[in-house]
Structure 1
Amino acid sequence: MNHSTTSRPAALPDGHAAGLRSAITADPARPVVAGIQGAGGYGKTALLEQLARAYRDAGVAVLDASTPVDRATEGAVLVDDAHRLDEPVLVGLREIARQPGARLVVAYRPGPRPAALGELIGELGAPVLLSGLTREDIAEQARRTLGPVSAEWVAWLHAQTGGVPRYVNRVLAVTDPGRAELPPRALDQFQHDFDQLGEVGWECVTAMAVGATPHPDLLAALLDLTPAAVSSALLAVRAGGLVTADDALLPIVRAAALRLTPWERRLRVTRRLVETQLARGGSVLPLVSPLLEAEIALLPEATLATAFERAGDEALRDAPHLARRLFAAAVSAGAPVASVAARQARAAAVAGELDEALRLADQVIVDETVPDRETGVQVAASVLAHRGLLERSAEMCRWSVGRLPWPGDRAFAAVGLIGVGRLGDADELLDSADDSGPPTSMSAAAAQLAAGVRESVVGSATTALSTLVRAASLSESVGRGILVPDTPAAIAALVALHCGELDVAQSTLDRAIESGTGGPLLRARHRLLAAWLPLLRGDTVTARAKLPATSEPAARDRLLATAIEAGIASRDNDMAALAAARGQARQAVAEHSVDLFTLLPLGELVVAAARLRDQDWISPYLLEARALLDRLGNPPLWSCMLTWKCLQAAVVLEELDDARRYATELDRMAGHTPLSAAMAEAAQVWLRILAGQVDHEESERAARGLHAAGLAWDGARLAGQAAIRTTDRRAMLALLECARALQGKPPRPRAVRGSGESDLLSEREKEVAELVLAGLTYKQVGKRLFISAKTVEHHISRIKQRLGATSREDLLNRLRELLGQSS
């Protein structure tokens, strides 16, 4: 039956729900034939109720699907869930749609649909498509229901529900404001949705919830169903609004399925899926992790035992705490304790539970029934090094050679022996090397590591650094999967720091951090070493920001972190923070034996102790370090930086005899690297500065030499101290400008030279202020300006009053701003 186009209702203003509402509200008598398409929960029923209210308010009768064709024009026919109607009813609705002046709105799901519905939809034309709520929509709805909520919580709710209005309403009706947890009462309401799917549909949802791929053939094989039955069920699942666009269950649907499906049913599907994945060599971690909460899953069963063990291996790198639980579950499900003991020790180590890791590793090493005892040795050696016991770690590695070999054991033994000053033992071990296994990336990296560390002691700094960087590059391919006493990247960075190659250190550490080399256990070490780079440049803000947040760092990391904190306080001239770090430093040094790779933090703590006039506690450790270097023949690469720090401590204490001795040592090492040459030249300048013989050009040249060699802050300090001690005001200002430039600060503004706000201060007050900002005590300022300390205090009091400062810190900040300086 054909009709002219003039008899058809006019097109809607747009294809959205708002357009349909507006058109009907504006003109209820207007002919309308429209379809509303949306998955379950998207608001079809709610929209129809709004339209019905608009018609009734206008005095138009609202009719339903049972309305005869000849009476359809007496009102507006609104039909919900058309996909559930019988064929005769759908045929009748199709005839109504063809009537001139008809007002018919039909809501239906995307599918599955009977043929008669398809014909009806053809008469209705392009449907109004319902979509999910946006974050803005959810925020507004939550505000009306719960009051103000955070944007983070709104984003969480949107992610959980996919914006499906029905699911959003379920959560909002029973949740506590801002609580990012799906309420059980909201999940229980999915019982009706799952019942509507039928047994096959619920089985499919259960399989998808435990990790099955939503593919008809795969689900059919898993559930012992026909592909046709599964395909039909998946159509119903999609039409029910339970999945995303790529057929993944919405998080709230998955949580509901896991909650509402009986454990026995879930376990049966999971076992089948696990068997399939084990046979294919696929991942089982997502499948069995939820079973950890089910006591029934931990009953002895070979399939689950194997699956828990495999899942533990998968979780070992990125989720070591979970790996430990999975290995324990494998034992509960029937796996022999010995089969997972070594991996449990490894998981504890990677998780940072070093005491537990060492306890388990010791048990593994002495238990000959453990199939992978060498892993226990590797764990013990790594944990011992991390706890600051490098010599014991080296002995563990040396013991394993020929007994329980693992990739790199000989090389790491040699590195540890050299690190504690036993070069002869290391050479003997390396000379006895034989082919103990295939040349893997890790064994090759370890061999290069040992060669590089040895070269750093007996040969060229350039060759040593090049060898170590190559070792670090080789180890990147292994990434976070390795567990070793130390990484080539960390040692390469240490060597680079000791010889002033800061760019090499930076790039090496950046690559190690990006690749995750060494896994979680070594992550903090790499980040701590990366924080050392801005510290050398005097950028204390960046250095502090780079310090990793670790609640209970191991001894090696604690020593590095404490030294960095002390270095930051020293460079910021924050004596309160420096004093607060002293107790932590004493504890950290006491816990860690002195070795080659701790000389950098030890040197920083030597200077800190000198600034606090409390160097007695660190002297024994400094003597140990000196003895260690003596045993190695005082290699310049490792000796130079510590000697330089000792010189700086002597400068702080104004101990000229000690400073001369350290300057002489540095002079003997001057030809080793550009850094050692810069240190040697600067040491001689320091001696003359301490003696009051400041040469402007010489001091600036030495300061810039330190800067060029990588010690930017040390260069700036030399220039600043030379400025303080010269009697030539022109030279003082020039050296202060040099110090600022070496720290990357802009030149002081003209105001410091006598105009603008700095005119608040007299010339003498400006001199006092500049020297106080440079770190001098009142006594030192008085000595420099030939006035008493009391007069200096009087000047400071008057300056504080003029500037309106409320505290000493406020005063210093105002002076820095006024005089064009920064902290």
Structure 2
Amino acid sequence: MILDEHTRTLCERITTDPSAPRRVAVVAPGGLGKTTLLRHLGREFAEAGTRPVWHGSGEQPGDGDVLLIDDAHRLAEDTLTDLVRRARVVIAARPWPQPAALGDLFRIVLRPFDQDQVGAYLARYCPDADRAAVHELTGGVPRLVALVARGADPVELRAEIEALAPDTQTYLLAAQAGAIRHPDLLRALFDTDEAGIGAISEAARSTGLLDSGGALVPVAEAAVSALVPVDRRLAVCRNLVRLQRNRSGPVLDLVRPLLGTDAGGADLAQAYQTAAEEALTADPALSVRLYEAAARAGAGELEIGAHWARASALAGDLTGALRRADRVIGTPDAPGRAEAARVAAVVLGSHGQLDRSAELLRWAGDSTSRAFAALALLGAGRPDEATPLLDERSDGEPPTLLSGAASLVAQGIHESLRSPAATVLATLARASSMVEPLGRTALLPDSPAALGAIVGIHAGEMAMAEALVRDAVAADVGTLRLGIRHSLMSAWIAMTRGDLNAAEPVLVDVLGRDELQPRDWLFAIGLDVGLARRRGDLAALRGIWEQAREAVIRHPVDLFTLLPFGEFVVAAARLDEYDRLAPHLAQAHALLARLGDPPLWSASLRWHRLHAAIIMGQPDEAATHVEALAGFAPHERHLAALHAAARCWLQVLTGTIDSSQVIDAARDLHATGLSWDAARLAGQAAIHTTDRTAMAALLECARQLQGPTAPTPEPSPGPVTAQLSDRERQVAELVVAGMTYKQVGDQLYISAKTVEHHIARIRHRLGAQNRRELLDRLRSMLAG
């Protein structure tokens, strides 16, 4: 027997101690081991010299014997009363129905196993089983624990479940449907009062199939599902749903068990729709399943199409959402056409089709849609059409959180064309905080936090950009789609700061997801390109380039994608593919021109084109972009920093370097969050100067400004690696990876000549006769 210490002590006293209680009742629901304990006591009595006699065995107990009675709750009241008058009797009974004759007996109450007791049982019979999992499946009921330990099918409970009174069986089905949380509903189901439902509840609990909260334990639920006829289960669920709908109560928990069945009819179709609306906030995917069930039950797909499309969009199924929304939009008499248009606009916006998105939002007509239409038009470079929409006022529409956020985000992007960055970020921060209480219920064409982060990166306000994204992630704003967008923006901020180690895992996670939307894929590939470029990994850059070209083709250039497009511009120059981006560059400049060439947005593209010109060795082209940045410099501190840095890059290109100017420009650049760019400027200036004092100062500046980068892998200790210094190992790994001396120098902020000296020392130390032999030995060493 697996008993707690208190019960074990009681049993020992009852069988051996003359002063112990002589009339005992063992009380517990079914399956908790009453019969097993009664047998155990019978053996203990026999060993102690007292003859046990089982009731119903045909034997008559003598004066010194003990009478053992099992399932006493099944005996007639007068019969049990006569039996318990004996001098010595031990009775096992369920707590319901509770015979009055048990009132004067000493009680032993059995309880379910705790995890330790489950573990003790499994150690004997099934040592490989997980005790926590078995405890969860069985609720600790010993009979069910034994069932699971033997690997038996829950249908072994058939006899017990089929023998239950009809009301008890109905109660178990109601518990399976979640009705125990609605006492009024249970009273209506059984058409009884509080006392009546209390009696039915106690009878159900006495089966041992319910946990302490009144829910079916998982093994019992499986048995009920398998053994009770489907039509009986459906009938109970239908009644519960009907009664709950008549009371205007929530139906989600009651409808859930019907999913996956063939139950249909107008009443259930309506119930599925109601449940789908209830599920939308917490579980959009469940909401989609419920709309599917409603359609199968007889609901018209056009009638529920708009709501179904919204649920699909919130669940991340943008393709399904667009298909359902488009069908509703295209049917003149379909209900919810405006809502369907908003859903389609959100999906098309994530595909980069801002013009079509704006068209649908304008057609939808409400104030929220007009504001988001203005946002899309600004992103597409159509400010003349966007401005009137911002000035329109709603007639009688309630001022909701969503409408307020939509108005603010459109206003903020409009301000970005002329106003200081601080003003823009303040407006977008208010918009972001306004949608945070909406959580995942907000179906947004874009996240105010993501747009604020983009503005922050363009404006050199990395701390603000990071805070906006962090708060949006904490509030779980928007759909899974926006969660991916927020992740990408946080990684972009890290990359811009030079923290490549923080950005890399986010990129790996995002690229591992299924079916990224074009906008997210564009940013993910841009991030991949940016990381490879900053690590000087030319091979990786070549490997990514075809995906980058495809991303640009699939997603037109708009105001909000200039960051990844800028990375592609620099990579194209590095890979001698610059001409292929010429049409897209023309589109980007035309878009910015239509917006009035706003400094906050235009400076980033000019900065990237400057670097492309430097890579291609085109000083005249580079000077053109420096001149453009000069025109932006008076507007903002970060724009002045970009211009000063751009002038210093021209010095690097021409070889006439003023180290103090470069150091000041690099530090200003670092202050705007462009840590990697700042360190690179100082490092390149150091490599190209002929003044050794200036070189030392510039290299020290580069090391101070450099953000965290990928750690150099530590080689395994051994006789060869022990001969190399840390710096020599870094140089060796990069050379073996295929970098030129110049590229290694750029990566480590040392000159190509210094790299050559390191390689010469390594070759001498390893005794290599030529370069090929050296590389072979280094590869072998690093592989080890």
- Scaled by the length of structure 2, the TM-score of the pair is 0.86
Q: Deviations over 1:227-266 (max 9, x none)?
A: 4333212112222222222222223333333333223222
Partners of 2:39 and 2:663 in 1: CA distance: 84
Partners of 2:128 and 2:690 in 1: CA distance: 65
Partners of 2:706 and 2:112 in 1: CA distance: 57
Q: CA deviation at 1:686?
A: 2.4
The answer to whether residue 152 in structure 2 is matched with residue 161 in structure 1 is no
* Equivalence for 2:383: 423
Conserved in 1, the CA contact under 8 Å of 2:177 and 2:254?
A: yes
1:647 to 610, 625, 633: 610
Partners of 2:286 and 2:678 in 1: CA distance: 49
* Equivalence for 2:36: 46
The answer to whether residue 373 in structure 2 is matched with residue 396 in structure 1 is no
* Equivalence for 2:497: 537
1:198 to 165, 181, 192: 165
The answer to whether residue 545 in structure 2 is matched with residue 573 in structure 1 is no
Q: CA deviation at 1:169?
A: 2.3
* Equivalence for 1:71: 62
Q: CA deviation at 1:598?
A: 0.4
Q: How does 1:277-676 map to 2 (within 5 A)?
A: 277-295=244-262, 297-298=263-264, 301-398=265-362, 400=363, 404-431=364-391, 435=395, 437-547=397-507, 548=510, 549-676=512-639
Partners of 1:657 and 1:602 in 2: CA distance: 22
The alignment partner of 2:634 has SS state of coil
Alignment-mate amino acid for residue 424 of structure 1: D
* Equivalence for 2:715: none
Conserved in 1, the CA contact under 8 Å of 2:498 and 2:707?
A: no
Partners of 1:767 and 1:236 in 2: CA distance: 75
Q: CA deviation at 1:474?
A: 2.0
Q: Deviations over 1:584-615 (max 9, x none)?
A: 21211110011000001111222333343433
Q: How does 1:95-134 map to 2 (within 5 A)?
A: 106-121=91-106, 124=107, 127=108, 129-134=110-115
Counterparts in 2 of 1:221 and 1:382: CA distance versus 1, 3 Å:
same
Conserved in 2, the CA contact under 8 Å of 1:405 and 1:436?
A: no
Question: Which moves more between the two structures, 593-602 or 626-635?
Answer: 626-635
Alignment-mate amino acid for residue 71 of structure 1: G
Identity of aligned residues (%): 42
Conserved in 1, the CA contact under 8 Å of 2:731 and 2:755?
A: no
The alignment partner of 1:485 has SS state of coil
Q: CA deviation at 1:653?
A: 4.1
Q: CA deviation at 1:202?
A: 0.8
The alignment partner of 1:283 has SS state of coil
Alignment-mate amino acid for residue 605 of structure 2: L
* Equivalence for 2:239: 272
The alignment partner of 1:63 has SS state of strand
Partners of 2:111 and 2:51 in 1: CA distance: 25
Conserved in 2, the CA contact under 8 Å of 1:364 and 1:373?
A: yes
Partners of 1:130 and 1:375 in 2: CA distance: 55
Q: CA deviation at 1:533?
A: 1.9
Partners of 1:29 and 1:41 in 2: CA distance: 31
Q: Deviations over 1:311-333 (max 9, x none)?
A: 22233345444434433433443
Q: CA deviation at 1:738?
A: 4.2
Conserved in 1, the CA contact under 8 Å of 2:733 and 2:782?
A: no
Q: How does 1:615-764 map to 2 (within 5 A)?
A: 615-726=578-689, 735-743=698-706, 760-761=723-724
Q: CA deviation at 1:73?
A: 3.8
Counterparts in 2 of 1:521 and 1:722: CA distance versus 1, 3 Å:
same
Alignment-mate amino acid for residue 139 of structure 2: G
Partners of 1:659 and 1:221 in 2: CA distance: 81
The answer to whether residue 219 in structure 2 is matched with residue 219 in structure 1 is no
Partners of 1:211 and 1:528 in 2: CA distance: 40
Conserved in 2, the CA contact under 8 Å of 1:448 and 1:467?
A: yes
* Equivalence for 1:180: none
Conserved in 2, the CA contact under 8 Å of 1:32 and 1:105?
A: no
Report the aligned-residue RMSD: 3.9
Q: CA deviation at 1:682?
A: 1.9
Conserved in 1, the CA contact under 8 Å of 2:25 and 2:105?
A: no
Q: Deviations over 1:420-455 (max 9, x none)?
A: 211122224444555373322222221222211111
* Equivalence for 2:717: none
Counterparts in 2 of 1:769 and 1:189: CA distance versus 1, 3 Å:
closer
Partners of 1:771 and 1:701 in 2: CA distance: 30
The alignment partner of 1:189 has SS state of helix
Q: CA deviation at 1:552?
A: 0.5
Conserved in 2, the CA contact under 8 Å of 1:317 and 1:519?
A: no
Counterparts in 2 of 1:643 and 1:681: CA distance versus 1, 3 Å:
same
The alignment partner of 2:399 has SS state of coil
* Equivalence for 1:250: 217
Question: Which moves more between the two structures, 613-622 or 732-741?
Answer: 732-741
Alignment-mate amino acid for residue 100 of structure 2: A
Conserved in 2, the CA contact under 8 Å of 1:449 and 1:488?
A: yes
Alignment-mate amino acid for residue 419 of structure 2: G
Q: Unaligned 5+ residue runs, structure 1?
A: 1-12, 176-184, 749-756, 815-823
Q: Deviations over 1:290-347 (max 9, x none)?
A: 323222x12xx33212112212223334544443443343344343443212223323
Partners of 1:340 and 1:764 in 2: CA distance: 66
Counterparts in 2 of 1:539 and 1:139: CA distance versus 1, 3 Å:
farther
Partners of 2:103 and 2:583 in 1: CA distance: 90
Partners of 1:590 and 1:517 in 2: CA distance: 29
- Scaled by the length of structure 1, the TM-score of the pair is 0.82
Conserved in 1, the CA contact under 8 Å of 2:329 and 2:340?
A: yes
Q: CA deviation at 1:105?
A: 5.4
Partners of 2:728 and 2:183 in 1: CA distance: 85
Partners of 1:452 and 1:338 in 2: CA distance: 37
Q: CA deviation at 1:417?
A: 1.4
Counterparts in 2 of 1:47 and 1:731: CA distance versus 1, 3 Å:
farther
The alignment partner of 1:313 has SS state of helix
Counterparts in 2 of 1:116 and 1:155: CA distance versus 1, 3 Å:
same
The answer to whether residue 161 in structure 2 is matched with residue 171 in structure 1 is no
Conserved in 2, the CA contact under 8 Å of 1:723 and 1:731?
A: yes
